[in-house]
Amino acid sequence: MDVAVHARQRQELPKRDESNQGYVQPASWKVRRLLLDPRSTFAGPSAKLRYLHQVRGMLLCFYVASMENNTLCMLFGVPPATLARTLRKAEDALSVALQGYAPARIAFPSPSQQAKLAKLVEGREPLLKYTFGFIDGKNLRVMQPSNADMQNAMYNGWLHSVFVTGTICFAADGCII
């Protein structure tokens, strides 16, 4: 992108209103600032993703549909470097936007909530008593570490490669705990 485009984007950023103590305005200002920061670009061809809704769509596809990076590249028509850079910036922006937002936090349920969730599970599956959540995971392929002990810790013999496993626990109502 050229300098004129960066100057125009900078002018389009909303000014931060210190008198507004609401959650939405500062978060959206920070998100737009992170995604449209001209210092993070480089001299070269312009980015293919020109609108914020495209970035949001890419991030949602990455998380919700569990798409591979090459599939996302084909779907959005971007090279792998642009995809990686855009996902990193979008994740940073999402983290800033959700900071301090109570429904977005991950927390272990209280004993009373566990009992309510266990009743939900038992109502659907009577043989599963005292079960309030379920665990799921995703294997993320990584480069082989040079340290033999680390490589041994991450090697998955069944899948014949080196992985880091991400595990998520879901409550019976679908929330991540």
Band the pLDDT of 37: cuts 50, 70, 90. low
- pTM, full prediction: 0.48
Q: How far is CA 4 from the centre of its chain?
A: 31
> Does residue 25 register a pLDDT over 50?
no
Q: pLDDT per residue over 92-149, tens digit each?
A: 999 898 888 888 887 889 999 999 999 999 999 999 999 999 888 777 777 888 888 8
pLDDT given at position 21 = 46
Helix (H, G, I), strand (E, B) or coil at 139: strand
Instruction: Compute the residue count for the chain.
Output: 177
Q: pLDDT per residue over 118-131, tens digit each?
A: 999 999 999 999 99
Domain residue ranges of the chain, discontinuous segments joined by +: 3-102, 106-171
Q: How far is CA 14 from CA 28, 86, 127, 151, 172, in A?
A: 9, 21, 55, 48, 41
pLDDT given at position 2 = 52
pLDDT given at position 35 = 64
For residue 168, give the H/E element and its range: strand 161-171
Higher-scoring residue by pLDDT: 24, 115: 115
Torsion angle of C-alpha atoms 52, 54, 59, 63, degrees rounded to 10 = 140
Query: Closest Cα to residue 89, out of 115, 114, 118, 56?
Result: 56
